[in-house]
Amino acid sequence: MTYAVEKSDDQWRAELTPDQYAVLRQAGTERAWTGELLDESRAGLYTCAACGAELFQSGTKFDSHCGWPSFYESVRPEAVELLEDNSHGMQRTEVRCANCGSHLGHVFPDGFGTPTGDRYCMNSLSLSFTPAEAPTDEA
């Protein structure tokens, strides 16, 4: 697959922390309940920690009680790439950033009570969060 952002392995290693590299470039998983963005509840935008591409709006985030930040849809269908993942003896759907190919997590069809029925289970290490700007009072 060809991505808009392509870098050498050495470039990714230089730009990412070792933990981010393990998740984003080696399809690792952070431990459940440890992610910095798990309890983030402010309005804002979630982007790819590797390339900055827009991925999820805060309004689609929900508490799935799974230990990782969960969303019911991406900011645009083409923002993420979905791939069959049969690793570890399981059948899952991997979610990658469509801009750089970085591993974000997996999507499951068990987002009960959400508008889509999907649960995009993302690693906090794969995401950056930008809070929405607070409205200003202009006289």
The CA-CA-CA angle for residues 108, 124, 22, to 5°, reads 95
The helix (run of H) or strand (run of E) holding residue 70 is: strand 70-71
- Cβ of 88: how many Cβ atoms within 10 Å? 7
Q: Which residues partner with 106 through β-bridges?
A: 94, 121
Residues noted as catalytic: 121
